[in-house]
Amino acid sequence: MFKDKASAGRIYTPPFRLADVTTLDDGEILQYRRMMLLELIQKHIRYLDMSELLNEIVDILSYTAYTDHQVMTMMSYLIQEVNVIAHMQFIIG
């Protein structure tokens, strides 16, 4: 599919690092600044009740500079994928 197969091979075939955030301690995740919210949410997205993490999410949003687009994307992901006991309570806080 590529005209320059050699360039495509150099770009797409080298090994890459994959991080399993489920194995990271939450304290370690919180050291990653710009990525901490994404990693924390991805780690805990399948927990029985994500609302237990809501205060921590709000704290991270209050002291870390995220763009409006990043926040809206994260909230959309949460609303679509989150496991919570009370969906409306989670959404309206």
Q: What is the pLDDT of residue 67?
A: 86
SS (H, E, C) 26-90: HHHHHHHHHHHHHHHHHHHCCCCCHHHHHHHHHHHHHHCCCCHHHHHHHHHHHHHHCCCCCHHHH
Q: What residue segments make up the domains of the chain, in order of their start?
A: 21-92
Tens of pLDDT along 32-85?
667 788 888 888 887 767 777 888 888 888 877 888 898 888 888 887 777 666
Q: For the whole model, what pTM was predicted? A: 0.58
